[in-house]
Chains A and B, each alone.
Chain A
Amino acid sequence: MVVVCPSKSQHPHYWARAPEFVPQAFIGKSRGQPLNLQQFDHSFRSLRTCITQQSAAGEAESLHYGNQVCHVFYLPAILEANWDLVSYLILLSRQGKVRLAKWFTTLSPKDKAKIVKDVSQLVLARRTRMCNFLEYKDTKIVYRRYASLFFIAGCSSEDNELITLEIIHRYVEQMDKYYGNVCELDIIFSFTKAYYILDELLLAGELQESSKKNVLRCISQQDALEDMEVEDEVTKIM
């Protein structure tokens, strides 16, 4: 028997307990009649060949279910990228240098490097007045150029492109408000702050706050706490 797991969260590791794995639970009941295992096995025969041919990237695993062996295939981790509204955000200079990169999905360093390389190439080649959206593999790239920096967000192909574009803009505005007329150098020299602001704006790839004031309040609370600590330090030395 073969079960294909479309996403990482349905990877066997994530199932409650593998020995209790019940294939029926994976067969939708939408059509009324549940399949028996024999049928199930039959309908998957072609599937198995298809998957084994399809990619060596798909990993396989065998689970024992009663006296049957269940082969479980799950598709490569990169697919997981589609889970999030925003799966990554990259700030790229016109020379192709990464100024900030935030990944909202777990990817191997190799996959990350590949995405950065591909996406940089695609985006740097775009001309002005083209649209802000691009298709890359099965994902969508939403990007926008601000002076010397490209802000690039990778998201799922079903996502609302314009709203993602405005997330980018909100981030830029937020930094502008904090730094006062933000420029690439601000981000280079206080990259930690740029990350902190991003954390207040986006979490798990989703926008958490669209009020500029609220975000700024959080950041200034952090700053106040830091300043206090610095003062403490100074008084201690004195």
Chain B
Amino acid sequence: MSSSGPTGFLGRSSSSNSNMRGLVQFIADLRNARARELEEKRINKELANIRQKFKDGNLSGYHKKKYVCKLLYIYILGWNVDFGHLEAVNLISATKYSEKQIGYLAMTLFLHEGHELLHLVVNSIRKDLLDHNELFNCLALHAIANVGGREMGEALSGEVHRLLISPTSKAFVKKKAALTMLRLYRKHPAIVQPQWAERIISLMDDVDLGVALSVTSLVMTLAQDNFEQYKGAYAKAAGRLKRIVIDGEYAPDYLYYKVPCPWIQVKLLRLLQYFPPSEDSHVRGMIRESLQKILDLALETNKNVQQNNAQNAVLFEAINLIIHLDTEHALMKQISSRLGRFIQSRETNVRYLGLEAMTHLAARADTLDPIKQHQEVIIGSLKDRDISVRRKGLDLLYSMCDSSNARVIVGELLHYLQNADFAIREEMVLKIAILTEKYATDVQWYVDISLRLIAMAGDHVSDEVWQRVIQIISNNEELQVYAAQNILQYCKQDHCHETLVKIGAYILGEFGHLIAEERGCSPIEQMLALQNKLPACSSSTRGMILSCFVKYVNLFPEIKPQLVNVFSVYSHTLDPELQQRACEYLTLISMPTDDLLRTVCDEMPPFPERESALLSRLHQKHSRTSDKRTWVVGGKDANADAAELTMAKTGSLRRTFTTNGHGSGVGSSSRGGPAGANGHSAANDLAGLDMSNLGPAEAKALKVPNLASAAHLSPGWERGFNRLLVRADGVLYEDGQLQVGVRSEYRGQMACLILYFTNKTPALISSFTTTLDLDESEKGNLTWDVKGLPDTTLNQGGQAQQVIVFEAKKVFDKSPTIRISYLAGALQALTLKLPVTVHKFMDPAELSAEDFFKRWKQIGGAPREAQAIFGLAAGGKSGEREITEGFIRAVVEGFRWGVLNGVDPNAKNFVGASVVHTSEGGKYGCLLRLEPNYATQMVRLTIRATDDTLPPLLLKMMQERIAKGVSTVQERHVVPPSVSEISDSFRNIMVTTSNR
């Protein structure tokens, strides 16, 4: 019905414009104005009318709204509207929603972020952000997201942030706030404060997929600049992806043609590409599982266009992630065969995307063989009827080229160049030139191809190309004769492109004498060839030819008269540059001695510092992009070469080349040389200059504390930690909201820790997240593998668990820490130290008295011994705590020493032995002697071990422990929980996930 014509609209009541008859009539009038002049006339009439109305003032809200709408329509049609902006902006402060809405729309269309009128509306926008009506909040957020700049951001970001994180915000407000924040961040990164990171990441778990989608977009951008702050997003993204793809956790409304919210899938897959692959086997497992499912789903082809597109959109992003991960060989294999089918697909879109993905693969894959199988098809894609596909084919051919197929590919490209679109010819010439230089295996081939390329492409050859050819020929003696012969042949032809004449003028001037003896190459023939070109050439080329001629005077004195003749003609030319040149050369050659001439025209030295501007020129044409690029078009070496990558990312860095040894660019001695060898110097020049890391974000990242580190332990962490130092199971931390319990099992150098988290709040907690951290200095000594992540939501009284397997590689000092954060209304977070210490990896040992003393002596004193004499720590009132035999025995055994009875002559003394297990350091034997004096409450503790680092570590921990003493008051004596008590607190969940 709506297609029947404008009349259908007049009756519609819900359409806002239909309330304004004047507007509808006006639009209808303009539609009826068939000629542009009529339209202009009608518009001018209306503009005059509105101008007058606004001038008179006193308009009702309705009329203002109507006129602003008319102005908007005129503006959309492409006419200039230079008045009425103020009236439009005034509508924003109207109380009526419909008027306000038009005001905001007009603002987003008429104004831009720097417009001065925006100052006037900041307060109205703030008022709407604070309004209790969410629709008003939304209007204000739209406005900021459309025209917000730095100033508006600084004024209003606080409110936007509040709407984003407030537990009372409705989902549809939250998602707008997230994207508004994104806009403001793009305009001025400092607006997003570093301490917001954890809270923002936690929103990725929001149950509403719309919110999750918007927040993921925000995190994606933030993570690109602030990698460290947002690395928590990695596991979140992996988890969310799995919940959507595998567990099917989404509202039915988010199914888009049977594909569950493809947009968020694509975002999550993309986000994962911004981080290096995780080392965590559990996270990797989740990603692998999701990717496999995506690949499997994509196998089912179907007729529906939308479903196909959505499925393929996800699939291609998954392929990009697989290529990025580079570790999933099983998945890799699947995709390379599938890409082979894609590039032959009937559907143009699929062909296009298949070629693109294959180019990505070529940029990263170790071997190009799977791609080379399809070489024929790829070459065929250069003849596709769609230029978009042809371009992608060109990119891929460029990327897949190596020394084995260079001849074929370059040949095909040259062949195709003749019929190629003008739009891509210059790029093709560049690419051919680069490939020729890079993969030239013999001298003749390089010269042949280069000259043929220039002869064919003519006008599309950028200066860099022919200059580079000259550089390379000059620097390679073996090329010179062959090049001179060939270029002379070209110059002798009637139709010879000017670019070739330029090369000819330079090469023959320098190396013409090398071929002067050959037939058809005599000095006079050389000279005539160039002289014939003179009249038709541009001024700069003529200049080059004149310079060549003055070199001839030096090389071939026999043709001096002819050359003098040319110079005298040109000494009268109108072009001042050429005239000057000719006059100076004339003077030079008419000097009484030719000393000066000989010096001036001496053979040019090889180019010492050469820039191959080719690559930079190529990248300059592309990739001026701010989004983080994870790869560039080009083979693996292009991507391995950090300098080229940097160049590609920034698009405007020109890299300086130094000569590779003798400055040879081609020839068998420097195969594959230019890019690799020269990259070295470029890397030096630009050392550390990574443009993608620039900006204020960088400085900000330095200031941001790592909240999961030991420097930020939450108050109250110590009690549980100390308790668990001598026990395997127990409560690590407890407050009014959360209880954290630990069970552990140690086998040799491996430890399995199970953490139990119990929700003690009277409500649901969500976005439950844990992050492990360890001091940088200990990273190689203790490693871990997270076997599972806790559920992200915990019902009231509910429990989640996490299994972590640690491995002691060497002796370590510092214990790992865990950051736990969750949303219970606001964001709650705590950082705890995990009771994983080196003595936990000890096993008690049994030794006879004889063995003990033998080893004790073998180990000897310092540095393998540590000793201390100490009493109760100061602080506690004397008499409240004491050291007793039972206490000491408990500590010694808790520290996993094998107590050896009857070894020490003094029965009061404790003697113990144990073995520490580490995987890289091996086993260490440890011996202990503890001499207590209960009368003075003092203790002498001596520890010897087969390793220097161990005794002080163990001594320190035991000393701290013993110095605390035990309470003298019986009632407060801490009774270790019985097995049944532990079971109760853990709800009978048994340790089942241990590896062994």
On A, residues with C-beta under 8 Å from B are 4-7, 9-10, 13-16, 22, 25-35, 39, 42-43, 46-47, 50-51, 54, 75, 79-80, 82-85, 97-101, 104, 106, 113, 129-135, 138, 156-163, 165-167, 169-170, 179-183, 185-186, 188-193, 195-196, 199, 203-204, 206-214, 218, 221-223, 225-227, 229-230, 233
Is B696 positioned at the interface, with any CB of A under 8 Å from its CB?
yes
Query: How far is A80 from B388 in the complex, measured between Cα atoms in Å?
Result: 23
Is B514 positioned at the interface, with any CB of A under 8 Å from its CB?
no
Contact, CB under 8 Å: A133 / B654: no
B residues 196-249 in Cβ contact with A at 8 Å: 209-210, 213-214, 217
Contact, CB under 8 Å: B699 / A106: no
Given known contacts A35-B688, A161-B353, A214-B210, A83 and B626 CB-to-CB distance under 8 angstroms: yes
Of B69, B96, B183, B693, the residue contacting A30 (CB under 8 A) is: B693
Could you say which residues of chain A place their CB within 8 Å of the CB of B656? 46
Given known contacts A79-B626, A134-B388, A166-B256, A43 and B694 CB-to-CB distance under 8 angstroms: no
Contact, CB under 8 Å: A158 / B629: yes
Contact, CB under 8 Å: A10 / B135: no
Could you say which residues of chain B place their CB within 8 Å of the CB of A16? 190, 696, 699
Contact, CB under 8 Å: A28 / B690: yes
Could you say which residues of chain B place their CB within 8 Å of the CB of A207? 213, 217, 263
Contact, CB under 8 Å: A25 / B97: no
User: Which of B62, B102, B348 gathers most chain A CB within 10 Å?
Assistant: B348
Contact, CB under 8 Å: B388 / A26: no
User: Which of B15, B69, B649 gathers most chain A CB within 10 Å?
Assistant: B15
Chain A min CB distance to B81 (Å): 11
The 4 closest A-B pairs by CB, nearest first: A28-B690, A162-B313, A131-B348, A204-B183
Contact, CB under 8 Å: A131 / B389: yes
Interchain Cβ contacts under 8 Å between A and B, 13 examples: A5-B695, A14-B189, A15-B696, A16-B696, A22-B699, A30-B693, A83-B627, A169-B306, A179-B2, A185-B6, A192-B16, A203-B183, A227-B14
Chain B min CB distance to A192 (Å): 6
Is B162 positioned at the interface, with any CB of A under 8 Å from its CB?
no
Query: How far is A210 from B625 in the complex, measured between Cα atoms in Å?
Result: 27
Contact, CB under 8 Å: B306 / A6: no
Chain A min CB distance to B427 (Å): 11
| Stretch in B71-79, B275-283, B361-369 with 4+ CB within 8 Å of A | B71-79
Query: How far is A210 from B266 in the complex, measured between Cα atoms in Å?
Result: 13
Could you say which residues of chain B place their CB within 8 Å of the CB of A100? 76
| Stretch in B17-25, B441-449, B490-498 with 4+ CB within 8 Å of A | B17-25
Contact, CB under 8 Å: A229 / B96: yes
User: Which of B312, B388, B688, B694 gathers most chain A CB within 10 Å?
Assistant: B688
Of A51, A185, A206, the residue contacting B217 (CB under 8 A) is: A206
Contact, CB under 8 Å: A75 / B19: no
Contact, CB under 8 Å: B17 / A189: yes
B residues 100-133 in Cβ contact with A at 8 Å: 101-102, 105, 112-114
Could you say which residues of chain B place their CB within 8 Å of the CB of A192? 16-17, 69, 72, 101-102, 105
Chain B min CB distance to A133 (Å): 5
Could you say which residues of chain A place their CB within 8 Å of the CB of B690? 28, 30
Query: How far is A129 from B351 in the complex, measured between Cα atoms in Å?
Result: 12
Contact, CB under 8 Å: A209 / B105: no
Could you say which residues of chain A place their CB within 8 Å of the CB of B262? 163, 166
Query: How far is A101 from B652 in the complex, measured between Cα atoms in Å?
Result: 31
Given known contacts A14-B188, A27-B689, A131-B386, A222 and B101 CB-to-CB distance under 8 angstroms: yes
Query: How far is A193 from B24 in the complex, measured between Cα atoms in Å?
Result: 14
Contact, CB under 8 Å: A211 / B251: yes
B residues 1-50 in Cβ contact with A at 8 Å: 1-3, 5-6, 8-9, 14-19, 24, 27, 31
Chain B min CB distance to A214 (Å): 6
Chain A min CB distance to B128 (Å): 14
Contact, CB under 8 Å: B2 / A166: no
Of A27, A133, A210, the residue contacting B261 (CB under 8 A) is: A210
Is B869 positioned at the interface, with any CB of A under 8 Å from its CB?
no
B residues 639-694 in Cβ contact with A at 8 Å: 649-654, 656, 683, 685-694
Of B9, B270, B623, B694, the residue contacting A190 (CB under 8 A) is: B9
Chain A min CB distance to B914 (Å): 41
Query: How far is A65 from B138 in the complex, measured between Cα atoms in Å?
Result: 43
Of A32, A98, A157, A226, the residue contacting B625 (CB under 8 A) is: A157
Given known contacts A46-B656, A85-B217, A188 and B622 CB-to-CB distance under 8 angstroms: no
| Stretch in B172-180, B520-528, B586-594 with 4+ CB within 8 Å of A | B172-180
Closest-by-CB residue of A relative to B264 is: A210
Could you say which residues of chain B place their CB within 8 Å of the CB of A195? 105
Chain A min CB distance to B886 (Å): 55
Contact, CB under 8 Å: B694 / A206: no
Main secondary structure of the interface of B (DSSP, over half): helix
Could you say which residues of chain A place their CB within 8 Å of the CB of B188? 9, 14
Contact, CB under 8 Å: B253 / A214: yes
Contact, CB under 8 Å: A80 / B213: no
Is B150 positioned at the interface, with any CB of A under 8 Å from its CB?
yes
Query: How far is A162 from B172 in the complex, measured between Cα atoms in Å?
Result: 26
Query: How far is A165 from B352 in the complex, measured between Cα atoms in Å?
Result: 14
Query: How far is A212 from B261 in the complex, measured between Cα atoms in Å?
Result: 12
Query: How far is A30 from B214 in the complex, measured between Cα atoms in Å?
Result: 31
Contact, CB under 8 Å: A210 / B210: yes
Could you say which residues of chain B place their CB within 8 Å of the CB of A29? 688, 693
Could you say which residues of chain A place their CB within 8 Å of the CB of B261? 210
Of B69, B651, B685, B695, the residue contacting A9 (CB under 8 A) is: B695
Could you say which residues of chain B place their CB within 8 Å of the CB of A185? 2-3, 5-6, 8-9
Q: A10-B695, A204-B179 are in contact. List 9 more A-B contacts (CB 8 A).
A: A6-B649, A16-B190, A16-B696, A26-B698, A79-B626, A104-B146, A135-B391, A180-B1, A196-B105
Contact, CB under 8 Å: A206 / B182: yes
Query: How far is A34 from B105 in the complex, measured between Cα atoms in Å?
Result: 49
Could you say which residues of chain A place their CB within 8 Å of the CB of B3? 181, 183, 185
Given known contacts A26-B694, A130-B386, A214-B253, A204 and B145 CB-to-CB distance under 8 angstroms: yes
Of A9, A212, A218, A223, the residue contacting B189 (CB under 8 A) is: A9
Contact, CB under 8 Å: A157 / B6: no
Chain A min CB distance to B820 (Å): 30
Is B349 positioned at the interface, with any CB of A under 8 Å from its CB?
yes
Is B142 positioned at the interface, with any CB of A under 8 Å from its CB?
yes
Chain B min CB distance to A222 (Å): 6
Contact, CB under 8 Å: B263 / A210: yes
Contact, CB under 8 Å: A31 / B688: yes
Query: How far is A28 from B622 in the complex, measured between Cα atoms in Å?
Result: 23
Contact, CB under 8 Å: B349 / A14: no
Contact, CB under 8 Å: A130 / B76: no
Of B14, B112, B689, the residue contacting A28 (CB under 8 A) is: B689
Closest-by-CB residue of B relative to A212 is: B253
User: Which of B306, B626, B699 gathers most chain A CB within 10 Å?
Assistant: B626
Could you say which residues of chain A place their CB within 8 Å of the CB of B142? 199, 203
Chain B min CB distance to A91 (Å): 10
Of B72, B653, B699, the residue contacting A25 (CB under 8 A) is: B699
Of B112, B253, B348, the residue contacting A211 (CB under 8 A) is: B253
Contact, CB under 8 Å: B691 / A4: yes
Given known contacts A14-B187, A206-B217, A47 and B654 CB-to-CB distance under 8 angstroms: yes
Could you say which residues of chain A place their CB within 8 Å of the CB of B627? 82-83, 156, 158-159
Is B385 positioned at the interface, with any CB of A under 8 Å from its CB?
yes
Closest-by-CB residue of A relative to B314 is: A163
Chain B min CB distance to A27 (Å): 5
Is B317 positioned at the interface, with any CB of A under 8 Å from its CB?
yes
Query: How far is A134 from B388 in the complex, measured between Cα atoms in Å?
Result: 6
Query: How far is A51 from B175 in the complex, measured between Cα atoms in Å?
Result: 41
Contact, CB under 8 Å: B698 / A191: no
Given known contacts A26-B698, A43-B689, A229-B98, A208 and B625 CB-to-CB distance under 8 angstroms: no
Contact, CB under 8 Å: A225 / B213: no
Closest-by-CB residue of B relative to A214 is: B210
Closest-by-CB residue of B relative to A182 is: B2
Contact, CB under 8 Å: A101 / B17: no
Of B254, B620, B652, the residue contacting A4 (CB under 8 A) is: B652
